[in-house]
Amino acid sequence: MAHPLWQLSASEASRRMSRGELSSEAYVRACLARIEAREPDLLAWAAVDPDQAIAQARACDAAPRRSALHGLPVGVKDVIRTRDLPTRFNSPLYPDFQAGEDAHCVAVLRSLGAIILGKTSTLEFASGGRIPPTRNPWDLARTPGGSSSGSGAAVADGMTPLALGTQTGGSTIRPAAFCGVFALKPTWGRVPFDGIKGFAPHLDTVGFYGRSAEDLALLAQAFPLVDALPAPLPGPLRLGVCRTPLWHEAEPQAQAAFEALIEKLARDGVALREVAFTSDEADINRWQDEVMQDGGRYAFLPEFLAAPDLLHTEFKAKLGNHLGLTPERMRQALDRIAQARVGWEAQLDGLDGVLTLSAPGVAPLGQHTQGMATFNRMWTALQVPCINVPALWSQAGLPMGLQLVHRRYEEERLLACLLALVPHLDTERHPWSEHADD
Amino acid sequence: MAHPLWQLSASEASRRMSRGELSSEAYVRACLARIEAREPDLLAWAAVDPDQAIAQARACDAAPRRSALHGLPVGVKDVIRTRDLPTRFNSPLYPDFQAGEDAHCVAVLRSLGAIILGKTSTLEFASGGRIPPTRNPWDLARTPGGSSSGSGAAVADGMTPLALGTQTGGSTIRPAAFCGVFALKPTWGRVPFDGIKGFAPHLDTVGFYGRSAEDLALLAQAFPLVDALPAPLPGPLRLGVCRTPLWHEAEPQAQAAFEALIEKLARDGVALREVAFTSDEADINRWQDEVMQDGGRYAFLPEFLAAPDLLHTEFKAKLGNHLGLTPERMRQALDRIAQARVGWEAQLDGLDGVLTLSAPGVAPLGQHTQGMATFNRMWTALQVPCINVPALWSQAGLPMGLQLVHRRYEEERLLACLLALVPHLDTERHPWSEHADD
């Protein structure tokens, strides 16, 4: 039996569209049908307008192809402004807010022919406060992670092949890990943050979601972080292994799956070498948190001034400098991060990428938590590009993320490395497939 | 004869309003009359709506005072979005663009009771391309500097007591120097850039204009970069003197005025000590340019995709990576800047601020140039707060800027230092006063 259309990856759908074998309308309708069927369980969307999405798809079908993204649907995290759907930030301050203007990243995708399918659920302002009700498609009792909860869940469940998120701590990579999808957090600053609600300017980064390595490359090419779609690196691969100073905070099942994968890669002929932080750098996640919380001292001031009663107490605490940050501590945090960045990147000569965990383990149970950013904060602080690869699985078949990291501005090498790495990995599992019950 | 109301500084107007001696409407009407009289010569404004400004002022006069900014008019650089005036970026791509939403910095000022008086002229996208026709109020044959051309000229000429600008290279401090007004470029990242057209994310900073040290403190308190209005530092002041590796590019008249001022301060009992860049750091302005141009590879992509024919060729060159930047060069530029930042700030123990030039000399003749950012690029790259002080004057009576700089996050100490320093300086000159013809 043929697979339903909504199961196609963006890249495969793009190929079929370019050959005239698939219309955007048919693909978008399949995604909308999947949303209709699954949204009552997943609650991944803050806004979908099916008529509008279909109208966009028909317009694309009637127009010359503008790029490989032409006709492909994209979900947009609801802290990113869109001109034709509400942008609510999961905040009671913006109950019906209509931006009337696309954020930079949305404008680029739309100009290249992508369909803005809907807005995906988010933690309030991607920063704290209200947790969205979104559930993990692998186990509805678990969190999909956050703050890009809806983007991770919707891509994992076949509701949309592509989505946009953001990351300030671990908000793109962690949901990707918990939901078992590919995601790329690019080098800080390469994809402009214009039109997105900011939290901490040193850290805020746009993130990309897809269901294959090629899908991430499609999005990377749009901005353009790569000049052309990269080819897989010729072997043998040379990879770093970075267990980070927080390895003891990973679940034993995540550590074990990671070590088993490293052994397999060694057997496959991948050259592996350890990459480490120094003991002086063990506090990097705390420095990241100081820089992030300092952003919160300023980011939510307009909302506080406009309607303090509607602003969650967590944001008021941030505005009140709840960490007691001083100019000295801010400079120390930033300068130690800068020093760690140089030291960490200096170890990467001759390496095609570095492997680490994306999350401490499987998605936690419950809707009161979004899990920990333990294995994300340091990379966000270092501003390096990182990719979640759905390649580690618990005994119960739940996704645990493998993370592939490189130096700043190396998206092209990182994606080429990923394309060469994927054939060694077990990434072809989906919540709708039999693997879910392995 | 009493001075016209438009000559009042923001701080003095605020005091009179708080005592019930001045209405916002009267002050705003005086500014609007000044604009009407002088705008044909200066061309400092991209949009003014007098009725709307007066309506805002009347509403303020009828409401309880919300802050020291209550009722004070502010000019807003036309790359900063405003909900009730067009935002055109000096670009033919946005001929009648109505944002419908205030940028973060505008929302904060409006919530505190400030009057959004109008939009001030700017270099296209604050980045290149079209130079606005704005003239220097001290000499109509000269540039006011840029890219915040209108903000600098309008504050200098009494059209508005306060204005907002931005700085990526020297776009706030240089117009302040050429127009002879006070301006503050805060620590990078402290005032969120949300709602402003970005150029280079490592550098883009909101800037403040006023006609006194107290005016800058009023704006700094709004965000809040200072907890309370700072008091002048008790003497004796301890200041660094930084001639920078580019001193040879300053005009002899600027060098001479700076050295004469240093001698005067020494005679006044100010303790002075040299602060230097190392010879390894002499290329910091080139690194800044690489980081800035790299931003341009991504910032203008939506405009290029939407209407390439309307985008100035300069932006197309930026999009085309005209400097041939590589990942390695970007990391080198950023890491050398980070190292220079640590080395430079480490010299400031025990200093209340550091003096340098704001510009190489007086505003150049002609409307084809906006002058050089030679003495701004390094500070923007270092992300440190800096203030232009209108305290250096050419033989012909034209302003040349003195710059006061400190470590990141030290806005409070910097403003307290400025307040103690001003009594030693010759800052009370205006284009409308007899000094203009000295």
Contact (CB, 8 A) for A146 and A123? yes
A196 CB neighbours in chain B (<8 A) are 194
**What phi, psi does B36 have (nearest 5°)?**
-60, -40
Take residue B21 and report the two structure tokens written for it.
């001696």
pLDDT tens digits for A16-43?
999 999 999 999 999 999 999 999 999 9
Q: Is the dihedral of CA A413, A415, A416, A420 positive or negative?
A: positive
DSSP A9-60: -HHHHHHHHHTTSS-HHHHHHHHHHHHHHHHHHH--EEEE-HHHHHHHHHHH
CA-to-CA dists, residue B178 to A15, B373, B429, angstroms: 57, 12, 13
Residues of A designated as active site: 77, 147, 171
Angle between helices B284-299 and B327-346 (to 10 degrees): 130
> Is the predicted pLDDT of residue B15 greater than 90, yes or no?
yes
> Is the predicted pLDDT of residue B48 greater than 90, yes or no?
yes
Which residue, A121, A117, A131, A130, is CA-closest to A46?
Answer: A121
Contact (CB, 8 A) for A420 and A233? yes
- Rounded CA-CA distance A118/B112 in Å is 35
pLDDT tens digits for B119-177?
999 999 999 999 999 999 999 999 999 999 999 999 999 999 999 999 999 999 999 99
Q: Is the dihedral of CA B204, B208, B209, B214 positive or negative?
A: negative
B86: preceding bond cis by omega (within 30 degrees): no
Per DSSP, the three-state class of A86 is coil
Q: Does A302 touch chain B (CB under 8 A)?
A: yes
Q: What is the CA radius of gyration of chain A?
A: 20
Angle at A13 between CA A7 and CA A19, to 5 degrees: 145
Mean per-residue pLDDT over chain A, rounded: 96
CA distance, residue B12 to nearest chain A CA (Å): 25
Query: Which residues, other chains included, contact B172 with Cβ-Cβ below 8 Å and sequence gap of 6+?
Result: B148, B151, B165, B166, B183, B184, B185, B205, B207, B208, B209, B388
pLDDT value, residue A2: 76
Spell B30-51 as b/e; 16+ CB within 10 A means b.
Answer: bbbebbeebbeebbbbbebbbe
- Rounded CA-CA distance A308/A137 in Å is 35
Residue B65: how many other CB atoms lie within 10 Å: 16
Q: Which of A330, A409, A410 minimises the CB distance to B409?
A: A330
Q: Does B198 touch chain A (CB under 8 A)?
A: yes
CA distance, residue B245 to nearest chain A CA (Å): 23
Residue A258: how many other CB atoms lie within 10 Å: 22
Q: Which of A101, A298, A407 minimises the CB distance to B192?
A: A298
B366 confidence band (pLDDT: 50, 70, 90): very high
Interface of A with B in 364-393 (CB under 8 A): none
A437 confidence band (pLDDT: 50, 70, 90): very low
Q: Does A2 touch chain B (CB under 8 A)?
A: no
Please state the ipTM of this predicted complex: 0.96
**What phi, psi does A427 have (nearest 5°)?**
-110, -5
Q: Which of B109, B112, B332, B334 to mutate to test the interface with A (most CBs of A within 10 A)?
A: B334
pLDDT tens digits for A208-229?
999 999 999 999 999 999 998 9
Contact (CB, 8 A) for B388 and B182? yes
What mean pLDDT comes out for the span B270-294?
Answer: 97
pLDDT tens digits for A240-264?
999 999 999 999 999 999 999 999 9
Query: Which residues, other chains included, contact B288 with Cβ-Cβ below 8 Å and sequence gap of 6+?
Result: B169, B203, B333, B337, B377, B378, B380, B381
Which residue, A414, A303, A387, A408, is CA-closest to A345?
Answer: A408
Q: Which of B111, B198, B345 minimises the CB distance to A305?
A: B111
pLDDT tens digits for B91-111?
999 999 999 899 999 999 999
- Rounded CA-CA distance B277/B80 in Å is 34
Interface contact B409-A327, CB threshold 8 A:
yes
> Is the predicted pLDDT of residue B312 greater than 50, yes or no?
yes
Q: Decide: residue B397, CB within 10 A, 0-12 exposed, 13-18 middle, 19+ buried.
A: middle
- Rounded CA-CA distance A404/A383 in Å is 14
- Rounded CA-CA distance A90/B269 in Å is 57
Per DSSP, the three-state class of B237 is coil
Q: What is the CA radius of gyration of chain B?
A: 20
Provide the residue type at B3 as one letter. H
What mean pLDDT comes out for the span B249-271?
Answer: 98
> Is the predicted pLDDT of residue A10 greater than 80, yes or no?
yes
CA distance, residue B333 to nearest chain A CA (Å): 12
pLDDT value, residue A261: 98
> Is the predicted pLDDT of residue A404 greater than 70, yes or no?
yes
Q: Are strands B45-48 and A386-393 parallel, antiparallel or unpaired?
A: unpaired
Interface contact B101-A100, CB threshold 8 A:
yes
Tally C-beta pairs within 8 A across A and B.
110
What mean pLDDT comes out for the span B281-296?
Answer: 97
First-to-last CA distance in chain A? 22
Interface contact B345-A338, CB threshold 8 A:
no
pLDDT value, residue B437: 43
DSSP A335-369: HHHHHHHHHHHHTTTT-SEEEEESSSSSPPBSSS-
- Rounded CA-CA distance B271/B106 in Å is 39
> Is the predicted pLDDT of residue A436 greater than 50, yes or no?
no
Mean per-residue pLDDT over chain B, rounded: 96
Q: Which residue of B has its CA nearest to A190?
A: B298
Q: Does A324 touch chain B (CB under 8 A)?
A: no
What class does CATH assign to A5-248+347-437? alpha beta
**Among B77, B119, B185, B197, the one annotated catalytic:** B77
B192 CB neighbours in chain A (<8 A) are 198, 201, 298-299
A305 CB neighbours in chain B (<8 A) are 107-108, 111-112
Per DSSP, the three-state class of B309 is helix
pLDDT value, residue B438: 38
Q: Where are the alpha helices (DSSP H) in A96-208?
A: 104-111, 149-156, 173-179
A79 CB neighbours in chain B (<8 A) are none
pLDDT value, residue B435: 45
A350 confidence band (pLDDT: 50, 70, 90): very high
Q: Which of B97, B197, B315, B335 to mutate to test the interface with A (most CBs of A within 10 A)?
A: B335
> Is the predicted pLDDT of residue B339 greater than 80, yes or no?
yes
> Is the predicted pLDDT of residue A268 greater than 50, yes or no?
yes
Interface contact A305-B107, CB threshold 8 A:
yes
Spell B314-343 as b/e; 16+ CB within 10 A means b.
Answer: bbeebbeeebebebebbbebbbbbbbbbee
> Is the predicted pLDDT of residue A1 greater than 80, yes or no?
no
pLDDT value, residue A435: 45
CA distance, residue B424 to nearest chain A CA (Å): 28
DSSP B250-285: S-HHHHHHHHHHHHHHHHTT-EEEE----GGGTTHH
pLDDT tens digits for B190-245?
999 999 999 999 999 999 999 999 999 999 999 999 998 999 999 899 999 999 99
- Rounded CA-CA distance A88/A93 in Å is 8
Angle between helices B411-421 and B213-222 (to 10 degrees): 160
Interface contact B111-A306, CB threshold 8 A:
yes
A111 CB neighbours in chain B (<8 A) are 302, 305-306
- Which residues belong to CATH 3.90.1300.10 in chain B? 5-248+347-437
A198 CB neighbours in chain B (<8 A) are 104, 192-194
Q: Which of B93, B112, B194, B325 to mutate to test the interface with A (most CBs of A within 10 A)?
A: B194
CA-to-CA dists, residue A154 to A6, A279, B208, angstroms: 11, 39, 43
Kindly state the DSSP code that residue B62 receives in the 8-state scheme: H
CA distance, residue B195 to nearest chain A CA (Å): 6
Q: Does B36 touch chain A (CB under 8 A)?
A: no
B227 CB neighbours in chain A (<8 A) are none
Contact (CB, 8 A) for B23 and B61? yes
Provide the residue type at A87 as one letter. T
pLDDT tens digits for A177-186?
999 999 999 9
> Is the predicted pLDDT of residue A116 greater than 80, yes or no?
yes
- Rounded CA-CA distance A104/B304 in Å is 12
**Among B9, B11, B91, B147, the one annotated catalytic:** B147
Interface contact B108-A302, CB threshold 8 A:
yes
- Rounded CA-CA distance B69/B110 in Å is 9
